Amino acid sequence: MTEEEFQNSFLENPIGGFNPPVVKKKRNLPGNPDPEAEVIALSPKTLMATNRFLCEICGKGFQRDQNLQLHRRGHNLPWKLKQRSTKEIKKRVYVCPEKACLHHHPSRALGDLTGIKKHFCRKHGEKKWKCEKCSKRYAVQSDCKAHTKTCGTKEYKCNCGTLFSRRDSFITHRAFCDALAEETARVSAACNNVAMDTLNYPFMGITLQEPSMAQHFSSIFKPISSNGETTIDKKQGLSLWMAQGSHHHDQISSNLQEIHQLGSVSSGSTYAEPIVLCSNIPPPSDSELNWVFGNKSSSINVHEELTSTSLPMTNVKETGTDQLASVPSLFSTQQQHSHITSAANMSATALLQKAAQIGATTTDPSFLGCFGLKCNSNQVQDANTYCGLFGSSTITNNIGSDVESSANDISTLNQMQLYPCKRRQIRRDDNSGGHTRDFLGVGVQATINQWMDLI
Amino acid sequence: FTPKDTSIHYYPSKHQSINGQILNMQSNTNRPQSSHTSTSWSSDSGEPCGTGNKWAPRLLKECARAISEKDSSKIHHLLWMLNELASPYGDFDQKLAAYFLQALFCKTTESGQRCFKTLTSVAEKSHSFDSARKLILKFQEVSPWTTFGHVASNGAILEALDGESKLHIIDISNTLCTQWPTLLEALATRTDETPHLKLTVVVTANIVRSVMKEIGQRMEKFARLMGVPFEFRVISVLNHLGELTKEGLGIQEDEAIAVNCIGALRRVEVEERGAVIQMFQSLRPKIVTIVEEEADFSSSRHDFVKCFEECLRFYTLYFEMLEESFVHTSNERLMLERECSRNIVRVLACDDINEGECERRERGSHWCERLKEAYSQVRFSDDVVDDVKALLKRYRTGWALVLPQGDDHHSSGIYLTWKEEPVVWASAWKP
C-alpha cells in the first residue's frame, strides 16, 4: 500500500525529485455501506475465480453465467438467459472472507463485486502478474497493466541537477550527493538536541531546502514583484530584528525579506538544525528562537534584551520555522568573510558575536549588502555580484552545484565586502513592503533603535 | 560450476588462437643454447603486432613460462619485447601487456613487495572521498559488476530479517557502502514498521578508512531523510579478520544480525579463511551474504604458470568488460585498470605475507565447500532473482544471471555472467 502511494507521489511529482515516505498515509475509509444492504460473504475461491463458467463444448471460460449462455447459442446448444427477478433487487455489499482483514467486518464492506474481488486478490492473493521491466509483482492483472504503462518512464531528478531514469541509481546517487550533504536533513521531530558540530548549512541557507523543493527555487528567483507581496508579510518580523542601519532599514528589510523568501520555500519542514544550533544555549521558552538569540557568552545581554522586547518571538511563531533557514545564512556570510574553512565549526555564540561586532562597527552597507543577495532577476548584474555566494549567473537552476562551487569562492565574498552595496538597485520595485511591517505594534523605529542599542 | 543447461557453456578462451609467427617460439622450449634462442627471436622480433591482435596473451604466457623455468635469456627477451609493445594507454593488448608486464618484471626481479607498496601509496595519495565516490558510482552506472551482488544480498537480508525491529548489519565489503541506500529505502517503504538499523562497517584497507568518515555522514543523513532510525559505526581491522568478536562489533542481544561480505573473503589469507568463517558463526547471524568474483588464484598459488594463466584469463575478461562498458576516454576506467594492476602485482609477484589484501580469489564452488561446513545454504527467492534479472535488463546486453543446477554441492548461489562467462558469484547462508 505504501509502495503504491509512493509510486503515486512520483506520478504527481515526476521531476520533483525524491519524496521520502516519512509519513505513511492511511487510506481514507470508504463511504459507509448502506445499512439496508444485504451483506454477502463470498468464499475465497469465488473471489479469486475467474471464468468459472465453462462451455462444455469448447472449454472456454466466462465470468458470468449470462455470458456463457450467450456463447452456447453459437454451438447451437440450448441456452437459457435468466430474467431479472421482478422484485426489487436488494443492494448488496460484500465482505472479505479473511478474518484478520479490515474488510471482514460488515461495517467496512465494499459495495462492488469487482471491488471485493480485486481487494481480495491484492491483499490476500498470490502475486501472479509481473512487470517485465522491473519485475514488480501484482495479484491483479489490471494493476499490473496500469503499472507497466508507466514503468520506466519516470524520471528522477536530484537536487544537483542530474537526471536519472533508474530509480536505484537515483537513490544511491542521492545518498552520496553533495546536495544532500549540504542540506539540513529532516530531523525527526523529537530531535531537538542534535549536537551540531558541523554546520554544513551555513550560508548555503538556500540549499537547506528539501529535495522536492528544488524546483521552487526557480520561482523564487523570479522578479520579486511577482511573488513578493504574498510572502513578504511573513518575513517582516525577522527583518525587524535584522535591520541594523536605521536609515537603511526599509531597504534592508526589503532585502532581508527577499532573503527570507529564498529560504522559505519548503513548507513545514523542520529546520531543526539551524534552530538546534543554539539549543545548547540557555533557551528562552521558545526553542525556535534559540538560533536567533542563542548565545553562550557575552551576548547574553543581547539575548535577554531581545527576548524582553519579544521582538521576533511572535514573528517567528507566526511565520513559522521555514524562514529561519535563511537567517543563518546571514550569519554565515560573516563566517565566510572571516574564515571560510572554519565556518562550519563556528558556534552560535561566535556567529552572533560576529554579527554584533560588524553591526556595531559599521553601518557599512556592504555588510548589509551581503544580505542583499537577492538574485532578483530584475537586477541581474548586481545580483550576480552578490549572488556570487549563491552561485553566479545561472540563478535558476543547479543550485546545488552553484552553491558548491561558490562555497569555495572566497573572492566573491570579498567582492561583496569591498564593494559598496548598490542598495538602490536591490530595493524591491514595489514599495508596499517598503516599510517594515510592525507586527508587534511597537513602532518600527522604536524596535530598530532598541536593537541598535544592544549591539 | 555446472551451468543450468547445456546451452550455456564456456567458450574456449579467445586467446587460444595461434599466431603463426609467435608459434615458432614454441619449438625452442627444449632449453636451447642462448645463441640459438636469440637468432630465432630476432626473426620474429619485428612483427608480432603486425599480425593483429591477441599478441599480448601469447607473449605474456610465454614469459610466465620462461620465468617458471628460469630461462633468463628468454625472460629478458620477452620482457624486452613486451616493454616495447606495451602501453597502459594503448589498445587492449597493449594495456594488458603493460599491466602484466609490470607483474612479471616484479616477479623476476623479486621486487613485488616494494612495487606494490609504491603503487598503493601513490593511489592513496590521490584518493579522496570525491574521487572514490565518483569512481564507484560511475562504475555502477555502466556495469552491474557490483550492483548484482548488492541487489541479491539486500534481497536476502530483507527477507531473512523481515519482521525484526532491530537490525544490525555487519558489513565487510569493498563497495564503500553503496549497497545501503537502496536497502534503507526498502526498509522505509516496504515494511509497515520501519525497523531500527545499525550498520557496523569493518574496514580492512587503509585506502578505505580515510573516506569512511565522510561516507558515514552521508549514510546518516540519508537515513534521516528516509526516516529510518539509523546508527553507523566503523571498525578498523588490518589483518586477522578472524579476531573480530561479538563484543568488539558491539552486537546486542536483541539485535537481528546479518553479515554482509562483498569482495572481502578473498582478502583473507588462504589459511585463515576457515577461521573467519567460523568467526561469522560466532556472531550468531540470521543470514550471511557472500559475494565474490569468480576466479581461482588460490589453489594454484604454488604453481606460477597456472596461477598466471588464470589471472590472465580473469583480468582479460574484466578489462574487456571495462572497455565495453565505459566510454573510450573514461578516466574512471583508467582508475579501475590501475587498481587491477596493483592487484595483479599482488597476486603474482608478492609472497603471501601478512599484510592483508592478498586478493586470492576462489571460485564460488570452492567457497561453498568452505561455507557448508558451518552453514546451510539459503536459496535466493524468486522475488530476489526477479529483481536481479530486472537489474541486468537496465544495463547493456551481455549480462545474464545463471542459476546453477546439478548436484546439491554446487547449487547454492547465483552467478553473474558476462558474455556467458561467469564473473561474479553471490550466495546467502544461514547457520
Burial label for B271, CB within 10 Å (0-12, 13-18, 19+), is exposed
Q: Where exactly are the structural domains of chain B? A: 143-294+361-430
| Bridge pairing between strands A137-138 and A156-157 | unpaired
| B149 interaction partners in chain A (CB closer than 8 Å) | none
Total length of chain A: 455
Looking at the complex, report in whole angstroms how far the Cα of residue A269 sits from the nearest Cα belonging to chain B: 12
Predicted local distance difference test score (pLDDT) of residue A96? 83
- HEC letters along B326-353: CCCCCHHHHHHHHHHHHHHHHHHHCCCC
Better-scored residue on pLDDT, A250 or B286: B286
Q: Is the pLDDT of residue A133 over 80?
A: no
Contact B381/A at CB under 8 A: no
| B219 interaction partners in chain A (CB closer than 8 Å) | 175
Note whether B222 contacts A174, CB cutoff 8 Å: yes
Alpha carbon distance A30, A49 (integer Å): 25
Q: Is the dihedral of CA A245, A246, A248, A249 positive or negative?
A: positive
Q: What is the pLDDT of residues B124-169, one digit of tens each?
A: 888 889 999 999 999 999 999 999 999 999 999 999 999 899 999 9
CA-based angle B373:B376:B377, to the nearest 5?
120
| B189 interaction partners in chain A (CB closer than 8 Å) | 2-3, 6, 21
| Bridge pairing between strands A156-157 and A163-164 | antiparallel
Which CATH architecture describes the domain A44-76+91-151? 2-Layer Sandwich (3.30)
Are B38 and B77 a contacting pair, CB within 8 Å?
A: yes
Q: What is the pLDDT of residues B12-44, one digit of tens each?
A: 433 333 333 343 444 444 444 444 434 344 434
Contact B45/A at CB under 8 A: no
Contact A20/B at CB under 8 A: yes
Q: What is the pLDDT of residues B387-421, one digit of tens each?
A: 999 999 889 889 999 987 755 554 578 999 999 99
Q: Which residue of B158, B213, B221 is the best one to mutate when testing the A interface, meaning the one whose CB has the most A CBs within 10 A?
A: B221
* Topology (CATH level 3) of domain B143-294+361-430: Rossmann fold (3.40.50)
Phi/psi of residue A277, nearest 5 degrees: -40, -40
| A185 interaction partners in chain B (CB closer than 8 Å) | 221-222, 224-225
Phi/psi of residue B198, nearest 5 degrees: -110, 130
Q: Where exactly are the structural domains of chain A? A: 44-76+91-151, 152-191
Smallest Cβ distance to B189: which of A2, A173, A176? A2
Q: What is the pLDDT of residues B45-88, one digit of tens each?
A: 444 444 466 889 999 999 999 999 999 899 999 999 999 999 99
Per DSSP, what are the bridge partners of residue A264? Answer: none
Q: Over range A20-37, report the average pLDDT.
A: 58
Chain A: residue nearest B395 by CA? Answer: A166
| Bridge pairing between strands B256-262 and B166-173 | parallel
Note whether B189 contacts A133, CB cutoff 8 Å: no
Q: Is the pLDDT of residue A434 over 50?
A: no
Could you tell me the pLDDT band of residue A420, with boundaries at 50, 70 and 90? Answer: very low
Neighbours of A401 (CB within 10 A): 17
Q: Is the pLDDT of residue A387 over 90?
A: no
* ipTM of the modeled complex: 0.81
Alpha carbon distance B319, A101 (integer Å): 55
Predicted local distance difference test score (pLDDT) of residue A343? 43
Q: Among residues 162-191 of chain B, which lie with CB inside 8 Å of chain A? A: 178, 180-182, 184-185, 188-190
Burial label for A253, CB within 10 Å (0-12, 13-18, 19+), is buried
Q: Among residues 404-423 of chain B, which lie with CB inside 8 Å of chain A? A: none
Q: What is the pLDDT of residues A298-317, one digit of tens each?
A: 433 433 443 344 333 343 34
Contact A405/B at CB under 8 A: no
Phi/psi of residue A119, nearest 5 degrees: -60, -45
Looking at the complex, report in whole angstroms how far the Cα of residue A121 sits from the nearest Cα belonging to chain B: 18
Q: Is the pLDDT of residue A177 over 60?
A: yes
Better-scored residue on pLDDT, A75 or B223: B223
Q: What is the pLDDT of residues A76-99, one digit of tens each?
A: 888 777 776 666 667 778 888 877
Better-scored residue on pLDDT, B313 or A277: B313
Looking at the complex, report in whole angstroms how far the Cα of residue A169 sits from the nearest Cα belonging to chain B: 7
- A284 secondary structure, DSSP code: -
Predicted local distance difference test score (pLDDT) of residue B353? 65
Could you tell me the pLDDT band of residue A21, with boundaries at 50, 70 and 90? Answer: low
Print burial letters for B198-209: b (CB count within 10 Å at least 16), e (below 16): bbbbbbbbbbbe
Could you tell me the pLDDT band of residue A178, with boundaries at 50, 70 and 90? Answer: confident
Q: What is the pLDDT of residues B229-278, one digit of tens each?
A: 999 999 988 677 888 888 888 899 999 999 999 999 998 888 888 999 99
Q: What is the pLDDT of residues B305-356, one digit of tens each?
A: 999 999 999 999 999 999 999 998 899 999 999 999 999 999 998 876 656 6
User: DSSP strand E in B386-420: where?
Assistant: 399-402, 414-418
Predicted local distance difference test score (pLDDT) of residue A368? 38
Alpha carbon distance A402, A389 (integer Å): 9
Q: Over range A234-260, report the average pLDDT.
A: 42
Q: What is the pLDDT of residues A187-200, one digit of tens each?
A: 444 444 444 433 33
Predicted local distance difference test score (pLDDT) of residue B29? 42
Phi/psi of residue B188, nearest 5 degrees: -75, -35
Could you tell me the pLDDT band of residue B292, with boundaries at 50, 70 and 90? Answer: very high
Q: Which candidate, B103, B178, B145, places its Cα nearest to that of B322? A: B145
Q: Which candidate, A255, A455, A206, places its Cα nearest to that of A372? A: A255
Predicted local distance difference test score (pLDDT) of residue A331? 39
Lowest mean pLDDT, pick from A15-29, A35-49, B65-79:
A15-29
Alpha carbon distance B265, A107 (integer Å): 58
Q: And the C-alpha cell for B334?
A: 583508467
Are A320 and A337 a contacting pair, CB within 8 Å?
A: no
Print burial letters for B16-49: b (CB count within 10 Å at least 16), e (below 16): eeebebbeebeebeeebeeeebeebbeebeeebb
Are A439 and A311 a contacting pair, CB within 8 Å?
A: no
Element (H, E) at A338: helix A326-338
Predicted local distance difference test score (pLDDT) of residue A377? 38
Q: Over range A366-388, report the average pLDDT.
A: 39
